[in-house]
Chains A and B, each alone.
Chain A
């Protein structure tokens, strides 16, 4: 179903198809090198312990940034490519978190193993919810994502087996204290890589084109033969996977799962803000947005303390971007042809 544009190149000889995918020519090559370089640094960072002053803090910071990258990139599959805004996306984080949390709490299975299960559970929910809510176009879907989120908050608050509103406390991971945060760093990094890779593949496929057609004009897309309902539902489901995975890992990293941690609009709001500022509908946008917003958050925490003003600032940013740079950073740069090659992943 998903075809790789690079495979379509007629110049590929039988002995070089892998090369064509792995090493495109020209400015794309430079971009490729930069990306690989960055990845190498990120992957080896934890091992450069002597060079890093506050190791635990760096590991935690990295893990969180990667987490947001993973979630925002996933959100973008439905919200950016297909144009269907999900404001309750954090429900998938909670589902993943609880699946792994329950398996750990009751059956002692490590979330590092069960995270993919959490992801799949989220996907299942995505299919089910999408089946019901993606029957109509327009705002009903958006509204239903919020309702879904609150429904789950209510449910999980009241189910004793899941710990109710207090949640479930989780044991610490069996790693030496010094290296406690490092596995989370890697787990989140891998999730981020996986999420961005998925986003990239979707963007560069016929399926992705179909999604974009839906975003632009759903009627026309239908008339042109795009199976819109199937595409929308599957996009919703796909956009849930890595969010669920990340939720599982996150729960483990804070050593408890609790409804208010996951089923909150604040997390969804962050995802939306990050995607829009970075540039929704692009591959690089969510990544950039996640890093940027996280940085801004940290900065304003330092500047203003943990007060409500931070929330107001985020809202202000969102409104400003929507009014003046609706395409986000990546989108706006591209439109003006100022987009540096290493950010152009579309």
Chain B
């Protein structure tokens, strides 16, 4: 029993981080119909930033979020203005964004590899290897639970950020505008929303979330430039599962699959963790293609 709880906890902590990563990705699609294949490479680039700040400045990765997020926000807005604005309104826009972000991902991967080489990197602040030890409570005599500190703080931060995002979307003027644009772009224009500005801000938000995720990744998982493809596959699967454009769906999906893959890793083997996500993707496509909370199949 304790073992089950342990595995579940690890899964939830994993899901918390995935939720943050997937939220940014699905936001970009929801608002602007952009499938951002470069999202994972943005995360890894941010991880490099956090990593080097830790190595050279001693800045704690969790704190580096404060620097990385605004930086990535500006970067995202810039990328949107320079690249996505150009293809606005072209036919088969979403397909174009796939190809465009594919190219961007490759460029950044190449640059990262060139400057930082392919060595595995991982920041190692103290909490990265420490765990909270929980005993007593409702646990059987003598049993203990390990709650890895690093993952715990990461999930905590992720929840704080996601909660902040939720509040922002729900209650702020810009948040309303973003939600309106997500639900009905034409109507948003008619009521006076500057959808272009909203789109740029949303993309910036999306990359800011990637930035925060990267700061977390810097100490949670070993990373190197080529790694982003694996993350892309997992994150995209999550986004489709939750329903493209649904932040709620992405978060729920992340936790659900985080726990599921944790059990898979525990019972079958560590290398099979990602398979959970891929299988879930194909099952969802078979059973309910629009995902958990997605709208009817849209083009």
Residues of A participating in the B interface, judged by any CB pair closer than 8 Å: 83, 85, 87, 132-133, 135-140, 142-144, 146-151, 154-155, 157-158, 215-216, 218-219, 265, 269, 272, 276, 307-319, 322-323, 326
User: Is there a chain A Cβ closer than 8 Å to B174's Cβ?
Assistant: no
- The 3 residue pairs across chains A and B that have the minimum distance between CB atoms: A312-B110, A308-B113, A315-B106
Q: Which of B42-100 contact A (CB under 8 A)?
A: 83, 86-87, 90-92, 94-96, 98-100
Does A315 contact B103, Cβ atoms closer than 8 Å? Answer: yes
Does B233 contact A146, Cβ atoms closer than 8 Å? Answer: yes
Q: How large is the interface on B (under 10, 10 to 19, 20 to 34, 35 or more residues)?
A: 35 or more
**In the complex with contacts A85-B98, A136-B285, A150-B229, A143-B107 CB distance below 8 A:** no
CB-CB under 8 A from B103, the residues of chain A are: 315-319, 322
User: Is there a chain A Cβ closer than 8 Å to B111's Cβ?
Assistant: yes
Binds A, one of B126-134, B142-150, B200-208, B272-280: B272-280
Does A308 contact B225, Cβ atoms closer than 8 Å? Answer: yes
Does B297 contact A136, Cβ atoms closer than 8 Å? Answer: yes
Q: How far is the CA of A204 from the CA of B105 in the complex (A)?
A: 35
User: Is there a chain A Cβ closer than 8 Å to B17's Cβ?
Assistant: no
Does B278 contact A150, Cβ atoms closer than 8 Å? Answer: yes
CB-CB under 8 A from B272, the residues of chain A are: 154, 158
Does A157 contact B282, Cβ atoms closer than 8 Å? Answer: no
Does A83 contact B285, Cβ atoms closer than 8 Å? Answer: no
Interface of B is mostly: helix
B116 to chain A, nearest CB (A): 9
CB-CB under 8 A from B175, the residues of chain A are: none
Within the complex, which residue of A151, A265, A276, A315 is in contact with B278, where a contact is CB–CB below 8 Å?
Answer: A151
Q: How far is the CA of A309 from the CA of B35 in the complex (A)?
A: 25
**In the complex with contacts A319-B83, A323-B87, A310-B110 CB distance below 8 A:** yes
Does A316 contact B107, Cβ atoms closer than 8 Å? Answer: yes
Chain B residue at minimal CB-CB distance from A141: B285
A96 to chain B, nearest CB (A): 21
User: Is there a chain A Cβ closer than 8 Å to B114's Cβ?
Assistant: yes
CB-CB under 8 A from A219, the residues of chain B are: 299
Within the complex, which residue of B105, B240, B298 is in contact with A143, where a contact is CB–CB below 8 Å?
Answer: B240
User: Is there a chain A Cβ closer than 8 Å to B223's Cβ?
Assistant: no
Q: How far is the CA of A346 from the CA of B209 in the complex (A)?
A: 46
A340 to chain B, nearest CB (A): 27
User: Is there a chain A Cβ closer than 8 Å to B173's Cβ?
Assistant: no
CB-CB under 8 A from A272, the residues of chain B are: 99, 102
Q: How far is the CA of A198 from the CA of B111 in the complex (A)?
A: 38
B245 to chain A, nearest CB (A): 11
CB-CB under 8 A from B289, the residues of chain A are: 135-136, 140
**In the complex with contacts A150-B274, A322-B96, A142-B114 CB distance below 8 A:** no
Does A146 contact B236, Cβ atoms closer than 8 Å? Answer: yes
Q: How far is the CA of A332 from the CA of B239 in the complex (A)?
A: 35
Can you report 16 A-B residue pairs in the complex whose CB atoms are below 8 A from each other?
A85-B99, A139-B94, A140-B285, A143-B236, A146-B229, A146-B232, A147-B237, A154-B274, A311-B110, A311-B113, A312-B109, A313-B110, A314-B110, A315-B109, A319-B83, A319-B100
CB-CB under 8 A from B98, the residues of chain A are: 85, 87, 139, 142
Q: How far is the CA of A157 from the CA of B37 in the complex (A)?
A: 24
Chain B residue at minimal CB-CB distance from A316: B107
Does B271 contact A314, Cβ atoms closer than 8 Å? Answer: no
B168 to chain A, nearest CB (A): 26
User: Is there a chain A Cβ closer than 8 Å to B244's Cβ?
Assistant: yes
User: Is there a chain A Cβ closer than 8 Å to B230's Cβ?
Assistant: yes
Does B107 contact A319, Cβ atoms closer than 8 Å? Answer: yes
Chain A residue at minimal CB-CB distance from B274: A154
Q: How far is the CA of A265 from the CA of B98 in the complex (A)?
A: 14
Q: How far is the CA of A167 from the CA of B299 in the complex (A)?
A: 40
